[in-house]
């Protein structure tokens, strides 16, 4: 079977390799990245092209959207799990995992609820206390490393005017506690573009912490 770059395939004799994506084909050889086996160089291999739902996998979809990056070798799922367990032998229950990766996020979540829980933020918006709502939001942002320092600075600098603070507070309340998921997220990202802070971390961190 003739395949070309971008085709999603499975190896008929190696089903454990999982879904693969053809990287290139040259000199009679096919270069394929498989989800569970990594990159393989194949010749006369029984590859079967798949489509539709069978051809979907988040690792491959991400790879396709990002494109190839020089010097980057993507790990397979088993390799990534093995590396994680090498660092944290007890997995997500490992005390070191809690110390390094979980505890400060939990503390930030508790701070978020204390400062910007539904009742607290609703009261601030109802009282038009947009300065305080904005100050609390920036305090929450500064409590974690989920947002890079330069992105924190862009967010802070974009919220200097009273108009920006009012729009920020109202849309943050809608983002966290509103009902129309798509509309509220679109309004939120429009705000981030308007205040020159359109980073995905700024777009998603508040929802993660609530």
**pLDDT on residue 77:** 76
Q: What is the pLDDT of residues 19-28, one digit of tens each?
A: 999 998 888 8
Q: What's the whole-number mean pLDDT along residues 67-75?
A: 58
DSSP for 15-32 reads: GGG--EEEEEEETTEEEE
Percent pLDDT > 90 in the chain is 67
Whose CA is closest to 12, among 28, 1, 4? 1
φ, ψ (nearest 5 deg) of residue 50: -120, 160
Which of 16-30, 59-73, 96-110, 132-146 has the least mean pLDDT? 59-73
pTM exceeding 0.75 = no
171 is written with which tokens?
A: 């849309």
All structural domains of the chain with their residue ranges: 8-85, 91-209
CB 76 within 8 Å of CB 45: no
Whose CA is closest to 139, among 158, 125, 152? 152
């Amino acid at each position: 079977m003739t395949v070309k770059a971008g085709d999603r395939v499975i190896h008929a004799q190696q089903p454990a390799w999982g879904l693969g994506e053809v990287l290139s084909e040259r000199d009679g050889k096919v270069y394929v990245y498989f989800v569970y086996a990594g990159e393989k160089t194949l010749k006369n291999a029984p590859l079967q092209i798949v489509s539709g739902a069978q051809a979907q996998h988040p690792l491959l979809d991400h790879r396709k959207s990002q494109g190839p990056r020089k010097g980057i070798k993507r790990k397979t799922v088993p390799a990534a799990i093995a590396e994680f367990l090498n660092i944290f032998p007890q997995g997500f229950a490992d005390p070191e995992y809690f110390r390094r990766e979980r505890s400060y996020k939990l503390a930030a979540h508790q701070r978020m609820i204390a400062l910007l829980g539904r009742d607290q933020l609703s009261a601030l918006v109802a009282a038009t206390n947009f300065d305080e709502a904005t100050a609390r939001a920036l305090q929450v942002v500064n409590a974690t490393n989920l947002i890079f320092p330069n992105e924190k600075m862009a967010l802070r600098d974009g919220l200097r005017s009273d108009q920006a603070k009012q729009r920020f507070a109202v849309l943050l309340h809608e983002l966290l506690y509103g009902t129309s998921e798509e509309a509220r997220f679109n309004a939120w990202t429009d705000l981030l573009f308007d205040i020159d802070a359109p980073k995905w971390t700024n777009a998603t961190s508040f929802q993660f912490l609530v």
